[in-house]
Amino acid sequence: MVDQASNSIPQVRGGRIKAYAVTAKTRLAVAPDIPTVDEAGLPGLYVSVWYGIWAPGKTPRDIVARLNSAIVAALADSTVRRRLAELGQEIPPREQQTPEYLAAYHKAEIEKWWPLVKAAGIRGE
């Protein structure tokens, strides 16, 4: 089974499931005893759950900047950071918390996964 850390870590800690690897290049800070896929013998199988917040395309730049500023401030809050860490969520570095970075990352993810979607014949409904 492959699942996101926020769902799996509490189950691993409770002894209900066994974690064989994380699908990341580095071990999770919240679960340093779980090896990476590289260490487990599946090099390069990197899959991550990521989150983004989008606004309608014609949202004025100053509104986007204000929204981004509020999100960055929330992610800097120690209580928020602690709770997300407890759930196995890793907050990206500040330089990755921008609309420009999200757009570039989103584009890269599409380019990465689209050939697999096409090869599998997956179609939208």
Query: What pLDDT does residue 85 have?
Result: 84
Query: What pLDDT does residue 101 have?
Result: 96
**Where along the chain do its domains lie?**
1-49, 50-125
Architecture of the domain delimited by 1-49: 3-Layer(aba) Sandwich (3.40)
pLDDT tens digits, one per residue of 63-78:
999 999 999 999 999 9
Sequence-distant (≥ 6) Cβ neighbours of residue 88 within 8 angstroms: 4, 5, 6, 8, 9, 28, 30, 31
Using CA atoms, how far residue 105 sits from 45, 88, 98, 110, in Å, is: 18, 21, 11, 9
pLDDT tens digits, one per residue of 4-40:
888 888 899 899 999 999 998 999 888 899 999 999 9
Query: What pLDDT does residue 14 have?
Result: 93
Question: Which residue has tokens 């850390």?
Answer: 5
- State the Rg of the chain over Cα: 17
Q: Per-residue confidence at 125, pLDDT binned at 50, 70, 90?
A: confident
